[in-house]
Structure 1
Amino acid sequence: MNQVVQALVNALNLGGLYALYALGVALVFGILRLVNFAHSSLIMAGGYTLVFTAGLPLVLRLLLTVAVCVGLAVVLELVAFRGVRGAAPETMLVTSFAVSVLLASLAETVFGALPRATDLGPVFRESWTFGAIYLPKINVVTVVVVAALIGGLGLFLTHTPAGLRMRAAAEDFGTARLLGVAANRVISLAFALSGVLAAAAAVLLLGANGSVTPSFGFNAVLFGLIAAVVGGLSSLRGAVLGGFVLGATGQLLQEVLPVGLAPFRDAIVFAGVFLLLVVRPQGLVRSGQGVRV
């Protein structure tokens, strides 16, 4: 019984992280139909910000991390993506991947390839023990932060004029522009919100791993993209659901697979994703369901 509870705790934590990554990907895709691999660069920038502000109070470090990630997201939209906005989806995809590789190479040139470590405080390294159940405090922080971001984003999209404009743009961007929705503002806002999600991902990832490298964030975006596709790439609710399904599946396999097969856990998960998409190409949530953006 303790093993089951422990697995559920770990699955909730991992699913929450995947949901956070998936939201950052789905938010921009909903409006631009852009699979933004450069989201990994935002997470990396947030990680290095935390490293180089190690002497400051934690609250200030967090605020600076959000500011850097949001600022970089808006700049990337303006410099890298605005010019190819009307291009074919594959052109925008290649552009986002090129931006990600460019910024990773730049970070390696400036900061070096070796990991840079920092400490975010005792809450990220201490844990509680309830009998045989081990509960790291960072797991609780992760679940609370992810729940707050999902809830806050949902309220923003459904109860504010800017959120309603974003939903309209996601539903039919051309018609929304004809009705007076300012395209540049809506898209910049979507990138800014993805920057907030990237900052949260950077904090949680660095808190768990303790160090950052130029490739920091790439695996997060990869799993976020897979989770978003599993749930339904055009639905934020689907992205969240896909994140928790992917996290729970990975954790379950970690518990039940024999020792010899454990290294192939991710390959088995990806095979399951492939089979799911063959049967249900639209993902778990259809684009007409839930809150789109």
Structure 2
Amino acid sequence: MDIFIQQFVNALSLGGTYALLALGLAVVFSISGLINFAHGELMTAAGYALYFALLAGLSFPLACAVAVVAAVVLAAAMEAVAFRPVRGASGTTLLLTSFAISAILRILFQDLISARPLPINFPAALSGQIAIGALHLGVIQAISIAVTALMLVALNLFLARTVAGRAMRAAAQDFAVVQLMGIRANTVVATSFALSGLLAGVAGLLWVAQRGSVDPLMGFLPVLKAFIAAVIGGLGSLSGAVAGGFLLGFVEVFLQAYLPDALLPYRDAFSILLVILVMLFRPDGLMTRRKMIKV
């Protein structure tokens, strides 16, 4: 039982990171109809910003703030420079644009910074553990779970209580009507990208904290998993993105813990099988688009 609880906590931590990334993808998709595969590079940018901020001598909390701001700024710039000129184009054009931005940023990271992983030294206090009976909870795991919960609550409040949040909810339902009401399309779309950058920046910090380094390809696999989570939950559904992220995290952790050694190399194949089963029985995902404005 103790082992099960330990794995449950591990799954909460991993699933929370996937949920934040899937939320970032879903926020943009619900308004722009775009799957931004350059979302992973926002994570990587946050990791590099943290590395250089610490190298410059900034305190750890301030360095974390700089990292998140860097991801938000890059997301807003990405929207203004690359996606705004092709807004309204076909889905194929938007998809190719996102792949192109992702490739360009990876090459820039490799050529201008380093192709090798750069270690990031976290404060010693974050490397400890919290003992709760037989359960040993890592400090980083505890922070990851707490930050994920805080971000979900904050996002709910933003969507429900702010003018920008209400505009985004309305745009997700019917963008044309929102424009007829006098709300600027550029503002709504830019806000959605900035919000996705915020979520990617926080997820990037949590991911770097768990792996201890940053490299140009760091964001590829997590965002691929987040896309799978978004598909499981239902593309365009924010609540579905959260559910899909946690579900995928639980599946991965428990498969890692309980699969026989001979089947462990096929863990990711079982995750893909989960997506296929969901698509067979729930083609629209676990939650429909009608619920996308709730987290």
Runs (4+) of structure 1 exceeding 6 A deviation are: none
Deviation by residue 1:236-273 (Cα, 9 ceiling, x = unmatched): 11100111111111112112210010121111111121
Shift of 1:121: 1.4
Q: Indicate the residue corresponding to 2:246 in structure 1.
A: 244
Task: State the secondary structure of the residue aligned to 2:40.
Answer: helix
Letter in 1 for 2:33: R
* 1:130-279 → structure 2 map (5 Å cutoff): 130-279=132-281
8 A contact 2:38–2:98 mirrored in 1: yes
Shift of 1:112: 1.9
Deviation by residue 1:65-124 (Cα, 9 ceiling, x = unmatched): 122111111111000000111101121011001100110011100112111111121343
Gaps of 5+ in 2: none
Deviation by residue 1:115-155 (Cα, 9 ceiling, x = unmatched): 11111213432212345432111111011111111110111
8 A contact 2:236–2:292 mirrored in 1: no
Gaps of 5+ in 1: none
Whole-angstrom distance in 2 between the partners of 1:226 and 1:90? 19
Letter in 1 for 2:35: V
Whole-angstrom distance in 2 between the partners of 1:11 and 1:232? 21
Whole-angstrom distance in 2 between the partners of 1:101 and 1:266? 24
Verify: 1:72 aligned to 2:69, yes or no. Answer: no
Letter in 2 for 1:11: A
Q: Count matched residues.
A: 293
Verify: 1:37 aligned to 2:32, yes or no. Answer: no
Shift of 1:292: 6.0
8 A contact 1:171–1:292 mirrored in 2: no
8 A contact 1:127–1:135 mirrored in 2: yes
Whole-angstrom distance in 2 between the partners of 1:248 and 1:237? 17
Whole-angstrom distance in 2 between the partners of 1:21 and 1:122? 27
8 A contact 2:238–2:291 mirrored in 1: no
Whole-angstrom distance in 2 between the partners of 1:123 and 1:158? 36
Structure 1 residues 227 and 100, CA gap change in structure 2 (3 angstroms): same
Q: Indicate the residue corresponding to 1:51 in structure 2.
A: 51
Task: Name the stretch that deviates more: 115-124 or 151-160.
Answer: 115-124
8 A contact 2:72–2:198 mirrored in 1: yes
8 A contact 1:37–1:221 mirrored in 2: yes
Letter in 1 for 2:36: N
Verify: 1:28 aligned to 2:28, yes or no. Answer: yes
Whole-angstrom distance in 2 between the partners of 1:276 and 1:98? 30
Query: Could you say what the CA RMSD is over the residues aligned between the two structures, in angstroms?
Result: 1.3
Q: Indicate the residue corresponding to 2:85 in structure 1.
A: 83
Whole-angstrom distance in 2 between the partners of 1:104 and 1:157? 32
Whole-angstrom distance in 1 between the partners of 2:206 and 2:137? 16
Deviation by residue 1:146-185 (Cα, 9 ceiling, x = unmatched): 1111110111101111111001111111111111111000
8 A contact 2:79–2:190 mirrored in 1: yes
Q: Indicate the residue corresponding to 1:3 in structure 2.
A: 3
Whole-angstrom distance in 2 between the partners of 1:271 and 1:149? 30
Whole-angstrom distance in 2 between the partners of 1:280 and 1:181? 35
Q: Indicate the residue corresponding to 1:111 in structure 2.
A: 113
8 A contact 1:30–1:292 mirrored in 2: no
Task: State the secondary structure of the residue aligned to 1:288.
Answer: helix
Letter in 2 for 1:185: T
Whole-angstrom distance in 1 between the partners of 2:16 and 2:276? 22
Task: State the secondary structure of the residue aligned to 2:232.
Answer: helix
Whole-angstrom distance in 1 between the partners of 2:13 and 2:74? 28
Whole-angstrom distance in 1 between the partners of 2:220 and 2:124? 26
